[in-house]
Amino acid sequence: MTLSAVPKVATHEAHATHERTAARLTVNHLSAYYGSSLAVGDVTIEFEPNKITALIGPSGCGKSTLIRCLNRMHEVIRNARAEGEVILEGENIYSPDADPVRLRRRIGMVFQKPNPFPTMSIFDNVIAGLKLNAGTHRGVDYGAIVENSLRQAALWDEVKDKLKQSGASLSGGQQQRLCIARALAVEPEVLLLDEPCSALDPIATLKIEELLQQLVEKYTLIMVTHNMQQAARCSEKTAFMLADEKRVGRLVEYSQTSEIFTRPKDKRTEDYISGRFG
Amino acid sequence: MAQAQPLVPQLDRTALISAEKTRYARRQLTNTIASGLMFFLTAVSVSVLFIILAYIFINGISTLFPVVDGHLTFNLDFFIKPPESNLDGTTGGGVAQAILGTIEILIVAGIIAVPLGVGAAIYLSEYGTGFLVNTLNFTIDLLAGLPSVVVGLFVLAAFIGNLALIKIFPHFAGLAGSFALIIVMVPIIARSVEQILRLVPDSLREAGLALGMPKWRVILQIVLPTVAGGITTGIMLSLARAAGETAPVLLTILGQQFISTDLLQPMDALPIRIYKYATTGQPDLIPKAWAGTMVLVIVIALFSIAVRYVTGRNRYDA
């Protein structure tokens, strides 16, 4: 693992005292492996705060693997590991003394399939990340946090009268917004979305997309999407990834979304966005 | 292109249809025969159970519900009294000491076996990797396949009496029976709980981890509650199995004619009582053996029904 050349700036405690802001995330020469096979090779990219960055590319290009490396969820898979640097506001999250558990409270994640905790109520789902963290929680006003998070996720009006019901009783789109609310309750600085709409119908998708436009005012949003129209509709910047002949995912092109979709610099990007493959 | 050959050669449709009808009739016949055979085989396997159950009930019911002076009565003594010898040479009382003994030994065994088995299952499913897990799984399979008489003999030889390897008990004792039943229960619990934990989708674990929960909390507060029903099933099944084990308790707790709740003394258990009554050769004790069997079968059936009830309501359970 490459050691961080960047000095550690802030500890988590220091971070916790000041107001939460969207964070800048810089990826330097990141490679991700499953066992001995390289899945994502040498990606260098910078995600800017208060912007939606879309990661697009055909299946198997490593976009999900890349996004999972950003909050160290990649290594949760058996035999999976990553090399390189991911710098969150000056701190390398892959430095040996970085704690992945703490990191994941700063970089939240929403998955492809809505995955509310089936044994918990809507209320408990939202505060699960806070409640099940280590440490004491005396004097925490959970009610306010739940309302605030659900409002941010544009779900409050739909569920405010049934907070005690199971999270599994909601529709797919509502479940996904519940998962967003759950991630927001922890007050992250970056929110990773791994194809958040691919299991949803068009109306639920539209709602999530509108929601993202509001959330971008407070968070750094990085979204993997299979859907080029979605990337074009909601993102400010777009990164195009493609697997090379050895099936290693590479970053091909990264720039303003408008540039990517109107004046792609790389031939492969042009072929992909014009629907010639993928 | 006007005179193009038809892509499909013209065939005699009537002949084709009639041939297809014949084939269809043959397929239907084969299907009927095959499914009939499967049903027959299933019926044979299941009927064995019903024959045994019926036989036990026919033989046991007259002891539990004797007809006295033309009235059907309930033999409460059988449940609340130990064996008694009457002056006229007949025997009275019942299996109270055996019921108490079974319950006590099972509770003690369960208190130790459940955390051990569940803990092993959590390790195997959530933490262990590769070679170690395969080795441990193989060991657990071996342990589960160990003949129960071997377990009883082991506890006897290792812990009981002056010649024991580690002398824990000076003589047969209820606690030694619990030891033996722990060895019977742990692999059953570990195996069934591990299978159930593997059914929990990884997406749930990832949801917890991605929220910044430590792994142990994800396991304790997300994974385990999701399959609480399935875990209960595994525990119940192991208890039902242990309740019916004869050899491990016979070789460790000896049996007891009197009510005794002291775990350091010889105790009684239902399988032992059944075994003893059935092998004494005393004609009036044989019906008591049947009645004891009936009680044991009912207890185990209740366990199974409870298992069904609990698992019927959970999503990710086996």
pTM attached to this predicted model: 0.82
Instruction: With cut-offs at 50, 70 and 90, classify the pLDDT of residue B243.
Output: very high
Cβ A102–B212 below 8 Å, yes or no? yes
- Residue A108 and residue B315: Cβ atoms within 8 Å? no
Could you tell me which residues come within 8 angstroms of residue B82 by beta carbon, excluding any fewer than 6 positions away?
A: B93, B94, B95, B96, B97, B257, B258, B259
Whole-number pLDDT of residue A13: 42
| Residue from A71, A81, A117 to probe the interface with B (highest B Cβ count within 10 Å) | A117
Tell me which chain B residue has its CA closest to the CA of residue A185.
Answer: B211
When mean pLDDT is compared over A106-110, A202-206, B65-69, the highest value belongs to: A106-110
Chain-chain contact of B211 with A182 (C-beta, under 8 angstroms): yes
What per-residue confidence (pLDDT) applies to B297? Answer: 92
pLDDT at position B283, please?
85
Q: Check whether A2 has a pLDDT greater than 50.
A: no
Highest mean pLDDT: which of B24-28, B74-78, B276-280?
Answer: B24-28
Closest residue in chain B to residue A129, using alpha carbons only: B211
pLDDT over 80 at A44, yes or no: yes
Query: Is A52 a residue whose pLDDT tops 50?
Result: yes
Q: Cβ–Cβ of A132/B315 closer than 8 Å?
A: no
Do B214 and A133 lie within an 8 Å CB cutoff?
yes
Answer yes or no: is pLDDT of B210 > 70. yes
The answer to whether B217 contacts A132, with C-beta atoms less than 8 Å apart, is yes
Residues of chain A with Cβ-Cβ distance to B200 below 8 Å are none
Residue % of chain B over a pLDDT of 90: 65
| Higher pLDDT, residue B283 or A221 | A221
Interface test with A, best of B213, B217, B220, B223 (most A CBs within 10 A): B213
Q: Do B218 and A182 count as a contact with CB atoms less than 8 A apart?
A: no
Nearest-angstrom CA–CA distance, A43 and A55: 12
Average pLDDT over residues B144-173: 93
Q: Is the pLDDT of residue B231 over 60?
A: yes
Question: Which candidate in A74, A76, A115, A178 is best for mutational testing of the B interface (most B CBs within 10 A)?
Answer: A115
Model pLDDT for residues B31-87, shown as the tens digit of each residue: 999 999 999 999 999 999 999 999 999 999 988 998 888 888 898 888 998 888 887
- Average pLDDT over every residue of B265-292: 91
Average pLDDT over residues B259-275: 92
Indicate if the pLDDT at residue A50 is higher than 90: yes
Residue B222 near chain A (CB below 8 Å): yes
Residues of A within 8 A of B201 (CB-CB) are: 115
**Are B221 and A132 within 8 A, CB to CB?**
yes
The reported pLDDT for the residue numbered B12 is 80
Q: Pick B282 or B35 by higher pLDDT.
A: B35
Q: For all residues of chain B together, what is the average pLDDT? A: 90
Q: What is the DSSP string of chain B?
A: -TTPPPSSPP--HHHHHHHHHHHHHHHHHHHHHHHHHHHHHHHHHHHHHHHHHHHHHHHHHHHHS-EETTEE---THHHH---EE-TTS-EE--SHHHHHHHHHHHHHHHHHHHHHHHHHHHIIIII--HHHHHHHHHHHHHHHHS-HHHHHHHHHHHHBSTT-SS--BSS--HHHHHHHHHHHHHHHHHHHHHHHHHHS-HHHHHHHHHTT--HHHIIIIIIHHHTHHHHHHHHHHHHHHHHH--HHHHHHHB--SS----TTS-B--HHHHHHHHHHS--GGGHHHHHHHHHHHHHHHHHHHHHHHHHHTT-SS--
Q: Looking at residue A20, what DSSP letter applies?
A: P
pLDDT at A12 over 50: no
Task: Please check the confidence at residue A9 and state whether its pLDDT lies above 50.
Answer: no
For residue A267, give how far its alpha carbon lies from the nearest alpha carbon of chain B (Å).
36
CB contact under 8 A, A101 and B315: no
pLDDT digits (tens, 9 = 90+) for B100-153: 999 999 999 999 999 999 999 999 999 988 888 899 999 999 999 999 999 999
Please give the mean pLDDT across all residues of chain A.
89
In angstroms, the CA A183 to CA B274 distance is 60
> Is 70 exceeded by the pLDDT of residue A29?
yes
Mean pLDDT of A195-200: 90
**Per-residue confidence (pLDDT) for residue B229, from 0 to 100:** 85
Query: In this predicted model, what pLDDT tens digit does every residue of A128-149 receive, in sequence order?
Result: 998 887 666 677 889 999 999 9
| Structure ipTM | 0.88
Give one word for B275, left, alpha or beta, with left for phi > 0 and alpha for psi -120 to 50.
alpha
Q: What is the pLDDT of residues A219-265, one digit of tens each?
A: 999 999 988 999 999 999 999 999 999 999 999 999 999 999 999 99
Chain B interface test: which of A20, A72, A125, A132 (most B C-beta within 10 Å) = A132
pLDDT of A214 reads: 92
pLDDT above 70 covers a percentage of chain A that reads: 91
Q: What is the pLDDT of residue B192?
A: 93
Chain A residues within 8 A (CB-CB) of chain B? 71, 73, 76, 78, 101-106, 108-109, 111, 113, 115-119, 128-129, 132-134, 179, 182-183, 186
B73 and chain A in contact, CB less than 8 A: no
Contact pairs from chain A to chain B, CB under 8 Å: 75
Paired residues of B169 in beta bridges? B160
Would you state the pLDDT for residue B8?
67
- Please report the pLDDT score of residue A16 as a whole number: 45
